[in-house]
A and B are shown apart, each in its own frame.
Chain A
Amino acid sequence: MSRADTAAYAGGPAAAGDPGVRRWFWTLGLFRSEVTTTFRRWRTLALLGVLAAVPVLVGIAVKIETGDGGSAGGGAGQGPAFIAQITNNGLFLVFTALAATLPFFLPMAVGVVAGDGIAGEASAGTLRYLLVAPAGRSRLLLAKYAATLAFCLVATLTVAVSALIVGALLFPLGELTTISGTRISLSEGLWRALLIALVVAASLIGLAALGLFVSTLTNSGIAAMATTVGLLIAVQILDTIPQLDALHPYLFSHHWLSFADLMREPVHWDDLLSNLRLQLIYAAVFGSAAWARFTAKDITA
């Protein structure tokens, strides 16, 4: 039981190389394992399927509506009125689809994945085996959060890419008009679309941290998912009640639709930056809470 003995076991045949670099590489290994485990679940694939279907439905609906030469009525839906422009330029389907999924479908999918993070492993009993492996509580939590963020990005890109394909198939592509009325080229428009997708994905950072925190509170994956999605709905409702005006700037969904400002010329950064700042605050607060809770928790499941 000497220290040398211990080191020999810890090192194994891979003892060569800088230990610091190795540790990072292997933490990456857990993250990779986390990502593949998540994306091989039926539930994850079903969620992505639903997200990919939204632009298809919107695209077909707009196509049918305008098939007789009329133009689609805009302004009725939530978010910026991108929908009216789809018939002129298929790229607008990307913005429309993101605006349509950001209030509920996207965060719901993230809430399911984040809520399931720790609690799902606990209810399956796999958590105790990961911890005696030993994954390390902080390392596991970090890998879970990173995998959830990866899911945020993949989910958003699923919507965007699906919308781009459907838009290109059903409608013409070309120069487009910004909200400010200026014209930008298609390639510039594509860049903006990518940037918008990234901003939308970043808008989910706060919710992902909140979901993971909820996930450390219970041993039931279903309860954690339901609570996270419930919180999402509650926050959305609170955000629409004018009497709670003072509260609104602190709600994680308050600045979500600010991504539309990227379609202005010049870009309005104020709201975009408020959104990102708020997301980082949520990530810091609920990430710390999740860490404090998870590292001190008795694992009885």
Chain B
Amino acid sequence: MSAGAGASPDAAPVIETRGLSKRYGGQLAVDRLDLSVPAGSVFGFLGPNGSGKTTTIRMLMGLIDPGAGTVRVLGHRMPDAARTVLPQVGALIEGPALYGHLSGRDNLVRYDSADPTADPRTRKARVAAALDRVGLTAAAGKRAKAYSLGMKQRLGLAAALLTPRRLLVLDEPTNGLDPQGMREIRTLVRELARDGTTVFLSSHLLDEIEQVCTHAAVMAKGRLVTQGPVEDLAATARGRLAVSTPDPGDAVRVLKENGVTGIAVESGDRVTGDPPPDGDLAELTAALVGAGVRVRGFGLERASLEDVFMQLTGEGFDVTG
């Protein structure tokens, strides 16, 4: 696959929205969204349920008309340029949908015939290649009705990979898969990204995003809270200081004197807190040792994407918004 291999890093964004909004009834489902997905990135799209992710994805794909604002995908306005843009986009939206009475293979043939740019002469070979890529070759002749959720998910992915794509939009691609299947999908996403395909991935599994994504955006209540490279996002949340000591009482006192806030004692011999914004950690260790606090371990624990998420949205991930 050579999809988008020529795209330079400073090329125009693959997805770009400006002031994108959508109102349902009286409620804004999506509120002035300015999203920018760089070419060649693996872009994680995060947000609690009901935060407007799905509505956004449907507007990107031209399924829902934007109420206000603009959407550009691969440089073209959506939904007007759907016929030019969508053949280059593979999508898995809100789980797979299949014709239960058709075999897995015939499902792919059906979706491929719907694409006016897909060559019918190579259809058979492309369908076989897509089935092979998601590991469904053995079950290709079975009716889709008899597929497990994981197999349906794989078949949905296969449909997204029927032709070389410049952009893949994957909404919860590992839903219903066992750990082995999830690992395979992650490997597949990395492979596709290496070949130059931009991957737009929504997931509720934060560690999954952290493992495969180069960029991420966080949505909450219809608004974009933040977006950028994953390292930068993680860096915005300060790490947490952790001191392992048999003298927690003294440690708490010394840390407090040195400007550490939010101090908590965990499991008897572990003290954590937020380090002072401009303090040098070396000064803290010196102060602790100077006060006679015995220190077993001292360090800054790197903030995870989950910490960032909690700080930005003020809620746990699986809370319905």
Is A9 positioned at the interface, with any CB of B under 8 Å from its CB? Answer: yes
Instruction: Report the minimal beta-carbon distance from A139 to chain B, rounded to whole angstroms.
Output: 7
Residue contact A131 to B159, C-beta cutoff 8 Å: no
Interface string of B5-22 (1 = CB under 8 A from A): 011000110100000000
**A27 partner residues in chain B, CB cutoff 8 A:** 116
Smallest Cβ-Cβ distance to B126: which chain A residue: A12
Out of B89, B95, B119, which one reaches A14, CB within 8 Å?
B119
Are A14 and B93 also in contact (CB < 8 A) when A9-B166, A37-B102, A133-B111 are? no
CA distance A80 to B83 in the complex (A): 52
Residue contact A129 to B74, C-beta cutoff 8 Å: no
CA distance A41 to B99 in the complex (A): 10
Are A128 and B97 also in contact (CB < 8 A) when A12-B163, A26-B120 are? yes
**A134 partner residues in chain B, CB cutoff 8 A:** 62, 82-83, 86-87, 114-116
Residue contact B120 to A13, C-beta cutoff 8 Å: no
Out of B3, B91, B102, which one reaches A132, CB within 8 Å?
B91
Residue contact B119 to A13, C-beta cutoff 8 Å: yes
Residues of chain B from 85 to 135 with CB closer than 8 A to chain A in the complex: 86-89, 91, 93-95, 97-102, 109-122
Are A130 and B99 also in contact (CB < 8 A) when A5-B6, A13-B119 are? no
Residue contact A9 to B75, C-beta cutoff 8 Å: no
CA distance A135 to B114 in the complex (A): 5
Is A6 positioned at the interface, with any CB of B under 8 Å from its CB? Answer: yes
**B187 partner residues in chain A, CB cutoff 8 A:** none
Q: Which secondary structure dominates where chain A touches chain B?
A: helix
Binds B, one of A28-36, A86-94, A265-273: A28-36
Residue contact A131 to B63, C-beta cutoff 8 Å: yes
**A299 partner residues in chain B, CB cutoff 8 A:** 58, 63-64
Interface string of B57-75 (1 = CB under 8 A from A): 0100111110000000011
Is B217 positioned at the interface, with any CB of A under 8 Å from its CB? Answer: no
Smallest Cβ-Cβ distance to B120: which chain A residue: A29
Out of A6, A13, A129, A135, which one reaches B159, CB within 8 Å?
A129
Residue contact A10 to B86, C-beta cutoff 8 Å: no
Is A136 positioned at the interface, with any CB of B under 8 Å from its CB? Answer: yes
Is B311 positioned at the interface, with any CB of A under 8 Å from its CB? Answer: no
Instruction: Report the minimal beta-carbon distance from A254 to chain B, rounded to whole angstroms.
Output: 37
Interface string of A110-143 (1 = CB under 8 A from B): 0000000000000011101111111110011000
Residues of chain A from 211 to 263 with CB closer than 8 A to chain B in the complex: none
Is B140 positioned at the interface, with any CB of A under 8 Å from its CB? Answer: no
A128-B93, A132-B86, A133-B112 given; 18 more Cβ-contact pairs under 8 Å = A6-B84, A9-B117, A12-B163, A14-B122, A41-B101, A124-B97, A125-B94, A126-B98, A126-B99, A129-B93, A132-B91, A132-B93, A133-B87, A134-B82, A136-B82, A299-B63, A299-B64, A300-B63
Task: Give the 8 A-B CB pairs with smallest separation, nearest first.
Answer: A125-B97, A133-B114, A134-B86, A33-B113, A14-B119, A135-B114, A299-B63, A1-B75
Residues in chain A within 8 A of chain B (CB atoms): 1, 5-6, 9-14, 23, 26-27, 29-30, 32-33, 37, 40-42, 124-126, 128-136, 139-140, 296, 298-300
